[in-house]
Amino acid sequence: MGEVAYVSGRVLTKSGQPLRNGYVEIWQTDSNGSYLHSGGRNTGGYDSNFQGYGRFVTDSKGQYFFRTIKPVEYTLQGAFRCPHIHFAISKSGQRLIATQMLIQGHPANERDGIVKSNRAKGEMLESCDGGF
Share of the chain above pLDDT 70, in %: 92
Which residues span the domain enclosing 115? 4-128
Distances in whole angstroms, Cα of residue 114 to Cα of each of 84, 119, 121: 11, 9, 11
Closest C-alpha among 56, 68, 55 to residue 132: 68
Q: How many domains does the chain have?
A: 1
Catalytic machinery residues: 35, 74, 81, 84, 86
Q: What does the alpha-carbon distance between residue 18 and residue 27 come to, in Å, rounded to a whole number?
A: 23
State pLDDT tens for residues 116-126: 888 888 766 55
Which residues are paired to 85 by β-bridges?
101
CATH number reported for the structural domain that contains residue 15 in this entry: 2.60.130.10
pLDDT class of 40 with cuts at 50, 70, 90 = confident
